[in-house]
Amino acid sequence: MVSKLQFGMVGGGEGAFIGPVHRMAAEMDGLATLVCGAFSAAPEKSVASGVARYGLPAERCYGTYEEMFAAEARSAPGEGMDFVIIATPNHLHVPIAMAALRAGFHVVCDKPLALNLDEAQLLSTVLAETDRQFALTHNYTGYPMIREAQQLVRAGVLGSIRRVDCRYLQGWLSSELGDHKQASWRTDPARSGAAGAFGDIGTHAHNLVRFVTELEISELCADLTTFIPGRQLEDDGNVLLRFANGARGTIAASQIALGKENDLSLGVYGELASLEWEQQDANSLIIRYADRPLEVRRSGGPGIGASAHSAGRLPPGHPEGYLEAFAEIYRNFCLGLLGKPGALPIPGIEDGIAGMRFVQQVVASAQGGGQWVPWD
Amino acid sequence: MVSKLQFGMVGGGEGAFIGPVHRMAAEMDGLATLVCGAFSAAPEKSVASGVARYGLPAERCYGTYEEMFAAEARSAPGEGMDFVIIATPNHLHVPIAMAALRAGFHVVCDKPLALNLDEAQLLSTVLAETDRQFALTHNYTGYPMIREAQQLVRAGVLGSIRRVDCRYLQGWLSSELGDHKQASWRTDPARSGAAGAFGDIGTHAHNLVRFVTELEISELCADLTTFIPGRQLEDDGNVLLRFANGARGTIAASQIALGKENDLSLGVYGELASLEWEQQDANSLIIRYADRPLEVRRSGGPGIGASAHSAGRLPPGHPEGYLEAFAEIYRNFCLGLLGKPGALPIPGIEDGIAGMRFVQQVVASAQGGGQWVPWD
Amino acid sequence: MVSKLQFGMVGGGEGAFIGPVHRMAAEMDGLATLVCGAFSAAPEKSVASGVARYGLPAERCYGTYEEMFAAEARSAPGEGMDFVIIATPNHLHVPIAMAALRAGFHVVCDKPLALNLDEAQLLSTVLAETDRQFALTHNYTGYPMIREAQQLVRAGVLGSIRRVDCRYLQGWLSSELGDHKQASWRTDPARSGAAGAFGDIGTHAHNLVRFVTELEISELCADLTTFIPGRQLEDDGNVLLRFANGARGTIAASQIALGKENDLSLGVYGELASLEWEQQDANSLIIRYADRPLEVRRSGGPGIGASAHSAGRLPPGHPEGYLEAFAEIYRNFCLGLLGKPGALPIPGIEDGIAGMRFVQQVVASAQGGGQWVPWD
Amino acid sequence: MVSKLQFGMVGGGEGAFIGPVHRMAAEMDGLATLVCGAFSAAPEKSVASGVARYGLPAERCYGTYEEMFAAEARSAPGEGMDFVIIATPNHLHVPIAMAALRAGFHVVCDKPLALNLDEAQLLSTVLAETDRQFALTHNYTGYPMIREAQQLVRAGVLGSIRRVDCRYLQGWLSSELGDHKQASWRTDPARSGAAGAFGDIGTHAHNLVRFVTELEISELCADLTTFIPGRQLEDDGNVLLRFANGARGTIAASQIALGKENDLSLGVYGELASLEWEQQDANSLIIRYADRPLEVRRSGGPGIGASAHSAGRLPPGHPEGYLEAFAEIYRNFCLGLLGKPGALPIPGIEDGIAGMRFVQQVVASAQGGGQWVPWD
């Protein structure tokens, strides 16, 4: 008898990038183990991927997620899947999540939550009818120094926030990539939703702003561009933000910023102090004050708060990266399911709804030529 | 007999920040020397500043610029001032420059060029009627790595440009500064013009984009904010740009980004390569390519072009900073006046006019609630 | 039936730092799973740790490693432990490793290999008599950019190497830590061996130099110091190196460099190019050339070689850190055991012997007052 | 009547690197102006350089320094040279300095002070017989953040110092440079002295350690190497240091660290706090504490002490570099001569003597095969 949670996965088959990331992240802290999956829409590929990529026995590699949910729901107590990870293109998130919830499984879903806001709200309604847990992998919130940033804002160290900048720049879609698996669905409205870069990474940026500042957006103005001929969704864009408290902000998301790898950065400027963080130096948080030298707080280092501390696994100077931050979502999710102490709040359905509203309003603004639109 | 050019200064008296910077920059390369000045609107302060701050004889510290121009114009050949530096608040730039040109002096003027576009164009007309030289101290163009950036764009290394981001963030106006000399005129429309942060530093950002990319702006959308109660001009803002070639861009300027010192950064993303530069690491230029490792070109280092090379004074690894870049404006200006070889183009009247148009349209957009306005 | 390898652990009980690191690293790539352990010298603590910390069933948490080896060796084929991880203080490495090998288990051992060189050579002899695999967790060799560095040296990109600098600076032993579990055994000669900082982290630095440059040390001169009164082993030291090819080098190791976290850095200077790497920016490798701009190769990025590429798990810009590098040792070890393709060479018994010789000669030099001693 | 000091220069003719640096540095703060020189050992070159390079009238470009001292000493009061800058190869420093002092001139001399310790002490004796001022351009002490470091040590912020590391790595002598003017005399014992890299840049490193820590070296052990065949002086070396207070340290100097530009860095580790500085980020000083987040003090920024503040010229974020630090030596020298307030102590004859002793003992240690030698 093993005390680990057992999980299945939908998606993540051969060629998928994010499936193995979910697997590594979910298992990192020894709280859960992958036991089954429906890894591909093509049943034979699903089995092949499960066996070759994940080392699963063929009998728990299902041809479809419906089949998996049905079979696993019939398992003896303690034997079947406890939760499912949804690591598919966006258009399948909500249908699969609803099916999983209805079959009695907890759900961890990749972002963005849905194809559109209506779908997101539908899922929210379904979720509310169950007692199941739901997490959304806005994984960048898992970095210890992002936890620290949130805590500093909450503690009033920054005073009232005046300005927020979040940039998420990638360059991998700088040219036409042909039938590249990762690229093709992300640039297809039917599978990705109404936005390209803003659905894929702009939602991360939005969520990071939301998580750290907890400010409400009141209006926004967006300019979206598609640089690669023939591409159906924007691959670059900029959004101006006005917040309810009077603060101003910007969110940039680009996938044609050639040579940029995965550069996510955040600046939050308050009346008393300011914060700066960038993923390329993820274990540092810069804090600037009006009247004393700037400070660099470090993952695991002296002076950090309890939430940042608990979000790290290693002593300072042992760099923790993307996988560890991703795993932090799972660690807290599993602690919660197991009823163990110490679980920190993680992104969930409300974050997903906010993200879909963000995408919807960004697209609406851009389609209106870049006019200001209210948040709701 | 000394072969140096002789210059006077208007402004730069006790308490002024930029006057001594001009003096150090103008004299750095041994091509020019300060011989006279009208350092303050108060005649007695002018003399006191000239003697104490600049070591000048009292008889060449004039009570007014009119007096200085008249007296210096009467000097024997080779004895009087050759050019004048205008280092006053903005509203005096054009009147003084016109007087200087009409008195036969070459002019180096601080930025922004004028109070408004009309005034700038008037000065341009006056200038065209003389054979005098005019330079505008958009000093950031003097960094060797900015020269390198321009040259790389011109050489087609980036291919067509798609995205440009320029941020200029300061925090020194994060609180009400009372009767702080530097702050008071910069936040007074009568002396600064229609914009605050965008007049003072947004014009630098605009000029940097213009200098490096040589793209034409076709439309812009601006959101300006005044965070400090009672302040008359914006202290923070963001501008979205659309360029004539289809590129998109952003310019941010803030003086309430608490703790930010003088953080000017530029990113230019092309279809073949991208550039990144920031003043805090001014001697480096990052170049990213699609298919090979990123490159860091360094001031004085291997692989840089002729213009970047000539813009530096020291071997690589001997950091050159703000003063050296500022001096580069003067070096080229003086080489030109002296008829010596090697002068590189420097910002002039056209840059000043473009800057004033930028400010005018940014303010127009913001006053319209953040609507898109055409460049002209 | 699961196709993963099964491993046990000796050490790593409550309060141990490195045990959970081994567990996370060994399981990261889905090739192996922890099934049993003897986690503490105190049997009841062993069981408690195994259940609470690792989620194991109590029946596979053994009171002693001898008991574990005996029980697991009796398992049905495919059911028992395949390899054992030794995560104990240094003095137990060799006795446990010999017992494990003799019981038929493959071994992954933490560093340094042994208490002294004699013990290391004894283990080598025992190992040679078996057909078992043995790996030593010099985990820093697992960073993709360290693989890249090795490959560049091998490819002759640097030409003949002239200078090598490796620094490993920590500050956590800057004061007397009382009965701190991690500190106490590391500063006890009976459990740590003849060296303190040089046993614990100097061996990592030595191994990194060895791995990347593959140069032979011919002579060395060491100065070791104990700064904390009452501490029995050195907490700081510097070593000068002379290599057989004429190159020179330095290795510094300190645990009293207050405020330094875990700063490992490497510089290799050749006649044609040079390399620089530091763990705090582990995903970058700086390459400097004589006649062209410096280059930064990035984990997962363009231009890197096959070994660096295979050592990474994520696209560029998704930072991989300490755990991922550590896991790279296990990934290759497990691929080898499983007979799967793609296993890269990892540190083994020869590295351990070289490390113990390094410690021995460093201590000999220091005890002689800092005189030069030959490598052997 | 001009209130500036007037100075002459010996050396610095066409092709010399450091002469123009001295001129720019000495004139930067408007306290002094170049009026004459003996720029080359070849009289006709001296005049040509003075006119073309420095814009001087031919009649004050002297054929020899003896001639210059004689002529300038005959000038009417207030008309002749006040001080002389010695910017020649090392072997001429002392003869010229003695002649200048005896002719009644103050002296600013480039480093290292002399060919050897005896010569340095002779100069000290001569200097003591005059009332003239003498400064040695260990220009790196002029950085504001180096002033800050010294002040923090003096204030006891670090507590007792335990470890000091200073590295000065260049790559420009990585190959045989033929008759390169800068290279040829630096590698010629008759003109450079007993050491190559350690005379040229090792003395800077030594002085920086001395300036910041004010510790006394008690013993040292050096290993020097000449990598380029035919070169007569070492181009690379490492020194282990033992200080009188029990601290340990290292100084590395290399001119074959290929691709390194001019990388000077300093680490000082105390029992209460530690400092880190590197010239490539000269405007920052990192301070690490045992129990709170690290701090970055910035030139011109909040929290810095009076000496660091006075050593800077610009607001924070306006990078000051090599020339500004160099100019700080001159600023203080001139303030002293002018009897103005605010002059900070600068390196002088005692630093020069200490530097020559350092070189002498380093060479002695290396020639003994790398044995420990006492400081004196």
What is the arithmetic mean of pLDDT over D39-55? 92
**CA D198/CA D201 separation, integer angstroms:** 6
Nearest residue to D1 (alpha-carbon basis) of B322, B55, B77:
B55
Predicted local distance difference test score (pLDDT) of residue C165: 98
In percent, the amount of chain A with pLDDT more than 90 equals: 92
Percent residues over pLDDT 70 in chain D: 99
* Residue C218, both tokens: 């011919």
Segment C17-35 shows an average pLDDT of 95
Residue of A nearest to C261 (CA): A317
CB-CB neighbors (< 8 A) of A57 in chain C: 1-2
For chains B and C, CB pairs below 8 A equal: 42
Single-letter amino acid code for the residue at A68: M
pLDDT digit string, tens, across residues A70-113: 999 999 988 999 999 999 999 999 999 999 999 999 999 999 99
How many CA atoms lie less than 13 Å away from B338 in the CB half-sphere?
Answer: 20
Residues of C in contact with B302 (CB under 8 A): 289-293
- Structural domains in chain B plus CATH codes: 5-136 (3.40.50.720), 143-314+345-367 (3.30.360.10)
The model's pTM is 0.97
Nearest to A258 among B171, B246, B270 (CB): B270
Q: Is the peptide bond before A112 cis (omega within 30 degrees of 0)?
A: yes
Q: Predicted confidence band at B1 (pLDDT cuts at 50, 70, 90)?
A: very low
Pick the residue of C239, C248, C281, C362 with the most D CBs within 10 A to test the interface with D by mutation: C248
pLDDT at B79 exceeding the cut of 80: yes
From CA A372, how far away is CA D365, in angstroms rounded? Answer: 74
Rg of chain A, C-alpha, whole Å: 20
> If you average pLDDT over residues A217-229, what whole number do you get?
98
φ, ψ (nearest 5 deg) of residue A168 = -130, 105
Mean pLDDT of all residues in B207-222: 98
Backbone angles phi, psi at B179, to 5 degrees: -95, 35
Enter the tokens of residue B224.
């300006």
Between B16 and A357, name the one with better pLDDT.
Answer: A357
C334: left (phi over 0), alpha (psi -120 to 50) or beta: alpha
| CA gap D211, D197 in Å, rounded | 20
How does pLDDT run across B124-145, given as a tens digit for each residue?
Answer: 999 999 999 999 999 999 999 9
pLDDT of residue C1: 36
Rg of chain D in Å (alpha carbons) = 20
CA distance A36 to chain C (A): 12
**Matching residue, tokens 């207030």:** D78
- Average pLDDT for chain D: 96
Residue A41 pLDDT level (bands cut at 50, 70, 90): confident
| Whether A295 and D295 lie within 8 Å, measured CB to CB | yes
Mark yes or no for CB contact B291/C303 under 8 Å: yes
The string of pLDDT tens digits covering residues B288-316 is: 999 999 999 999 999 999 999 999 999 99
**What residues of chain A lie within 8 A of the CB of B175, using their CB?**
271, 290
| pLDDT higher than 50, residue B209 | yes
- Which chain B residue shows the shortest CA-CA distance from D281? B281
What residues does A84 pair with on adjacent strands?
Answer: A8, A107
Residues C23, C32: Cα–Cα separation, whole Å: 9
Predicted confidence (pLDDT) at residue A21 exceeds the cutoff of 80: yes
Nearest 5°: the CA angle D279, D285, D291 is 145
End-to-end Cα distance, chain B = 50
DSSP-assigned letters across all residues of D163-183:
EEEEEEE--TTSS--TT-HHH
Place of tokens 């010192």: B261
Interface of C with A in 130-189 (CB under 8 A): 170, 172
| From A52-56, C111-115, C318-322, the region with the lowest mean pLDDT | A52-56
Closest residue by Cα to residue B98 from B78, B116, B122: B122
Termini Cα distance of chain C: 50
User: Is D306 within 8 Å of chain A by CB?
Assistant: no
Neighbors of chain B with 3 or more C-beta pairs under 8 Å:
A, C, D
Residue A221, classed as helix, strand or coil, is strand
Q: What per-residue confidence (pLDDT) applies to D283?
A: 98
Q: What is the separation of C-alpha A351 from the centre of its chain, rounded to a whole number of angstroms?
A: 9
Task: Give residues 259 to 298 of D whose Cβ lies within 8 Å of A.
Answer: 287, 289-298
Helix H or strand E encompassing D288: strand D284-289
Instruction: Calculate what percentage of chain C has a pLDDT beyond 90.
Output: 92
Which chain A residues are closer than 8 Å to B369 by Cβ? 372
Rounded to the nearest 10 degrees, what angle do helices D322-338 and B322-338 cross at? 80
3-class state of residue B230 by DSSP: coil
Average pLDDT over residues C58-81: 95
Is residue A2 scored above 70 in pLDDT?
no
Asked if D237 and D223 touch (Cβ cutoff 8 Å), the reply is yes
D window 92-111, beta carbon within 8 A of B: none
> C287 and C275 in contact (C-beta within 8 Å)?
yes
Check CB contact under 8 Å for C257 and D163.
Answer: yes
The whole-number average pLDDT for the span C307-316 is 96
| Stretch C157-185: mean pLDDT | 92
Report helix angle B93-102 to B65-73, nearest 10.
20
List all chains that touch chain A, counting a touch as 3 or more CB pairs closer than 8 Å: B, C, D
Mean pLDDT of B223-228: 98
This model of the complex carries an ipTM of 0.96
Spatial CA neighbour of C215 closest among C143, C154, C263:
C154
Q: How far is C315 from chain B (nearest CA, A)?
A: 14
| pLDDT class of A1 with cuts at 50, 70, 90 | very low
Q: Do A293 and D297 touch (CB under 8 A)?
A: yes
Which of D290, D291, D303 is facing A293, going by the closest CB pair?
D303
Tell which D residues from 2 to 41 touch C, by Cβ distance under 8 Å: none
pLDDT in tens, B146-165: 999 999 999 999 999 999 99
* Residue of chain D whose Cα is closest to the Cα of C292: D259
Reading the block at residue C209, the tokens are 């130099």
pLDDT at A178 over 80: no
* Mean pLDDT of the D332-355 span: 97
In SS3 terms, D7-63 reads as EEEEECCCCCCHHHHHHHHHHCCCCEEEEEEECCCCHHHHHHHHHHHHCCCHHHECC
> Binning pLDDT at 50, 70 and 90, where does residue C185 land?
confident
Residues of B in contact with D282 (CB under 8 A): 319
- Examine the pLDDT at A359 and tell me if it is beyond 90: yes
